[in-house]
């Protein structure tokens, strides 16, 4: 049962006289989160934000992630994102839960449910080395219900590659521009499209790129308007934001 249906069921019980208002208040007080000791699982995240709580898997043990998934699965959560987990961890979790795992992005979707993609999010990369971060963004947006177009290896070193894909860029509701090195892709894309651009600096590059700091500073100083910047290698954050923008546009229409 989803969180919205769960609360609706409580209200219907009160209406039917099967539950006192005081009893309903107690259930609602207990509902927002579940304390597992090492984690407090936010069961109301989907009700507030439209999607279940995301599990940041890096530095968590497989047992900790499994405990959180067990709590969320028991409350009917679907398409739960688990980010930054190793293949070995994914294999352990797959033995216990329905789980789809992408080794490139190290992103897993637990309790996967088919979603019809809506709107249009474009994820573009400067080079092939940016693919792990780009796929994290693309798979996140898809799991949240957005239709995603991938434009990979279209960096400024060969600008004709980007310019040959103007149609999907021009029709997008949000563009995620993923690039390392000097991070110029975001500024170029920002000058071409009429939608928000989410720039993702990656830690790809030689020594003077400083692990992505050079690309981050370039993107923060982009001369094109309408560009926001997330943290270095934060494909998840970019995909989440792009999907939210995309789906909000769909609601307005």
Question: Is 253 among the domain residues?
Answer: no
Q: Residue 76: what pLDDT? A: 80
State the Rg of the chain over Cα.
Answer: 20
Over residues 55-81, mean pLDDT: 89
Tell me, yes or no, whether 87 and 204 share the same domain.
no
Tell me, yes or no, whether 206 and 165 share the same domain.
yes
Q: Residue 253: what pLDDT? A: 46
Query: Does the structure show a pLDDT above 80 at 119?
Result: yes
Query: Does the structure show a pLDDT above 50 at 252?
Result: no
Beta pairing, strands 80-83 & 55-56:
parallel
Tell me, yes or no, whether 84 and 171 share the same domain.
no
Question: Is 231 among the domain residues?
Answer: yes
pLDDT digits (tens, 9 = 90+) for 194-237: 999 999 999 999 999 999 999 999 999 998 999 999 999 999 99
Question: Is 95 among the domain residues?
Answer: yes
Query: Does the structure show a pLDDT above 70 at 180?
Result: yes
Tell me, yes or no, whether 134 and 244 share the same domain.
yes
Torsion, Cα 54 56 61 64, to 10 degrees, reads -30
Query: Does the structure show a pLDDT above 90 at 53?
Result: no
Tell me, yes or no, whether 202 and 176 share the same domain.
yes
Query: Does the structure show a pLDDT above 70 at 109?
Result: yes
Q: What is the 3-state secondary structure (H, E, C) of 94-158?
A: HCCCCEEEECCCCEEEECCCCCCCEEEEEEEECCHHHHHHHHHHHHHHHHCCEEEEEECCCCHHH
Q: Which residues contact 132 (CB under 8 A, 6 or more apart)?
A: 104, 105, 106, 235
CB 190 within 8 A of CB 137: no
Tell me, yes or no, whether 209 and 157 share the same domain.
yes
Tell me, yes or no, whether 156 and 241 share the same domain.
yes
- For the chain, the domain total comes to 3
Residue 30 confidence class, pLDDT cut points 50, 70, 90: low
Question: Is 240 among the domain residues?
Answer: yes
Question: Is 55 among the domain residues?
Answer: yes
Q: Where are the alpha helices (DSSP H) in 16-86?
A: 21-30, 45-49, 62-74
Q: Residue 78: what pLDDT? A: 85
Tell me, yes or no, whether 8 and 62 share the same domain.
no
pLDDT digits (tens, 9 = 90+) for 186-195: 999 999 999 9
Query: Does the structure show a pLDDT above 60 at 99?
Result: yes
Tell me, yes or no, whether 105 and 203 share the same domain.
no
Tell me, yes or no, whether 237 and 136 share the same domain.
yes
Q: Residue 29: what pLDDT? A: 61
Residue of 77 and 41 predicted with greater confidence: 77
Tell me, yes or no, whether 62 and 78 share the same domain.
yes
Tell me, yes or no, whether 210 and 232 share the same domain.
yes
Least confident of 28-42, 87-101, 136-150: 28-42
Domain coverage including residue 218: 118-248
Question: Is 216 among the domain residues?
Answer: yes
Q: Using the 3D structure, point to which of 53, 83, 110 is the last residue of a domain.
A: 110
What percent of the chain shows pLDDT beyond 70? 87
Q: Residue 82: what pLDDT? A: 96
């Amino acid at each position: 049962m989803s969180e919205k249906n769960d609360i609706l069921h409580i209200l219907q019980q009160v209406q039917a006289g099967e539950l006192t208002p005081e009893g309903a208040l107690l259930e609602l007080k207990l509902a927002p989160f579940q304390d597992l000791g090492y984690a407090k699982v936010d069961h109301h995240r989907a009700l507030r934000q439209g999607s279940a709580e995301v599990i940041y898997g890096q530095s968590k043990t497989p047992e900790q992630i499994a405990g959180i998934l067990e709590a969320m699965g028991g409350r009917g959560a679907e398409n739960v994102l688990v980010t930054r987990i190793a293949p070995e961890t994914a294999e352990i979790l797959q033995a216990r839960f329905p789980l789809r795992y992408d080794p490139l992005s190290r992103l897993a979707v637990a309790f996967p449910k088919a979603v019809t993609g809506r709107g249009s999010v474009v994820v573009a990369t400067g080079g092939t080395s940016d693919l792990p971060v780009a796929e994290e963004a693309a798979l996140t947006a898809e799991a949240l219900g957005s239709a995603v177009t991938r434009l990979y290896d279209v960096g400024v070193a060969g600008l004709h590659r980007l310019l040959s894909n103007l149609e999907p860029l021009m029709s997008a509701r949000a563009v995620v521009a993923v690039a390392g090195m000097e991070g110029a892709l975001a500024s170029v894309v920002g000058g071409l499209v009429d939608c928000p651009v989410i720039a993702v600096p990656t830690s790809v590059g030689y020594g003077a790129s400083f692990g992505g700091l050079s690309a981050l500073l370039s993107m923060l100083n982009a001369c094109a308007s309408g560009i926001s910047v997330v943290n270095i290698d934060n494909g998840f954050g970019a995909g989440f934001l792009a999907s939210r923008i995309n789906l909000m546009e769909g609601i307005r229409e």
